[in-house]
Amino acid sequence: MKGNIKTLLNITKIIRMGRKKARQAINLALLGVLIFLLHACFYDLLGDTKLFLFECSDRKIGFIDKSGNFVINPQFGIAYSFSEGLAAARNGIKWGFIDKSGKFVINEQFDEAYSFSEGLALAKIGSKWGFIDKSGNFVIDQRFDNAYGFSEGLAFVKIGEKWGIVDKSGRLVVNPQFDSAESFFEGLALVQREGKFEFIDKSGKSAVNAQFDRASRFSEGLALVQREGKLGFIDKSGKFAVNAQFDSASRFSEGLAAVQREGKSGFIDKSGNFVINPKFAQALSFSEGLAVVETEDGLGFIDKSGKFVISPQFNYADSFSNGLAIVRIRGKLGFIDKSGKTIIPNC
């Protein structure tokens, strides 16, 4: 499930690599990165459980709870977050799936594997991808050169150099014809064809009568697109709800979008009006009511009034998920809760 569509348009994860790297990261087009690895800690806050991945100094990965206690002791070489009750993990060179006790319930047998989505997980043995059920059996044969997980009942698969769409029986419902693609969200999928980005419906037909230089998937009814070097937001008819005017931006989340213009970041509503004036060096989307922003004092967290709830002090910070956010301060990496209390796992 290697991402090969570069559509974030300098828009997301603009602070997640720390202050020094943020200004470089904002110029990257990265989509679909759910987990990442730093020097001492590997974590993923996007699962279906309040367990958090954590990598210790010996490079072993375990799962902690919100108190920072290990529920599954560090033992894995690499792992993904829990999804639908299972987590993909690897000790040696093969992947399997563990339950929340840390026991392998699908044996280590795959050369690569990814999290379960809608009851199926993407996996491969050898060079071809297929989909397995929770017994570890391939229910869609290995015949794809690349693929994404299921979303809204469909999955994009790559055959040769082109992407098409399969249903859960493995039947091709849209023949391979796209140069790149993203999964379905809100009934539409972003694809690239002949150098332009467009949105299609589940039959594979163009659903938005417009093409763009760059684009990102729909979120809360609007999609971020690029035209003539500037970013704006369109609705599902293809009309601009917010005119292309920003140098960078994120998708809408919790009714607001982080945008940047003339070197300063703030937050707009769906009419394009600033509700938090552009005054920050960088900003991430709101998550669980708070957003990461950068000032000259470091990274901190604001609420939707623009008031700091956790003062700027970190040289690395990521968005809240399941009540915790990962931060780095004075060289140490750990978690904080919404009161700003630091949680550093002991390993």
Question: Who has greater pLDDT, 1 or 162?
Answer: 162
User: Distance of alpha carbon 250 from its chain centroid, rounded?
Assistant: 12
pLDDT interval class at 56 (50, 70, 90): confident
pLDDT interval class at 209 (50, 70, 90): confident
Q: Check residue 304 and give its pLDDT.
A: 98
With 0-12 / 13-18 / 19 or more C-beta atoms within 10 angstroms meaning exposed / middle / buried, residue 23 is middle
What is the 3-class SS of the chain, one letter each residue? CCCCCCCCCCCCCCCCCCHHHHHHHCCCCCCCCCCEECCCCEECCCCCCCCEEEECCCCCEEEECCCCCEEEEEEECEECCCECCEEEEECCCCEEEECCCCCEEEEEEECEEEEEECCEEEEECCCCEEEECCCCCEEEEEEECEECCCECCEEEEEECCEEEEECCCCCEEEEEEECEECCCECCEEEEEECCEEEEECCCCCECCCCCECEEEEEECCEEEEEECCEEEEECCCCCEEEEEEECEECCCECCEEEEEECCEEEEECCCCCEEEEEEECEECCCECCEEEEEECCEEEEECCCCCEEEEEEECEECCCECCEEEEEECCEEEEECCCCCEECCCC
Question: Who has greater pLDDT, 334 or 203?
Answer: 203
197 contacts: CB under 8 Å, gap ≥ 6: 7, 190, 191, 211, 212, 213, 214, 215, 225
The per-residue pLDDT for range 318-347, each reduced to its tens digit, is: 999 989 999 987 777 789 999 999 888 887
Lowest-confidence segment of 12-21, 167-176, 179-188, 282-291 by average pLDDT: 12-21
The per-residue pLDDT for range 65-105, each reduced to its tens digit, is: 988 899 999 999 999 999 999 999 999 999 999 999 999 99
List the Cα angle 38/42/43 in 5-degree steps: 125
**What average pLDDT does this structure show over 195-199?**
90
What rounded mean pLDDT belongs to the chain? 86
The per-residue pLDDT for range 283-320, each reduced to its tens digit, is: 999 999 999 999 999 999 999 999 999 999 999 999 99
Q: Check residue 49 and give its pLDDT.
A: 54
pLDDT of 39 higher than 60: no
pLDDT of 252 higher than 50: yes
Q: Check residue 4 and give its pLDDT.
A: 34
* Token digits of residue 95: 């992947």
pLDDT of 63 higher than 60: yes
Q: Check residue 328 and give its pLDDT.
A: 87
Lowest-confidence segment of 157-166, 181-190, 203-212 by average pLDDT: 203-212
**What Å distances lie between residue 112 and 69, 83, 132, 161, 272, CA to CA?**
29, 16, 12, 20, 43
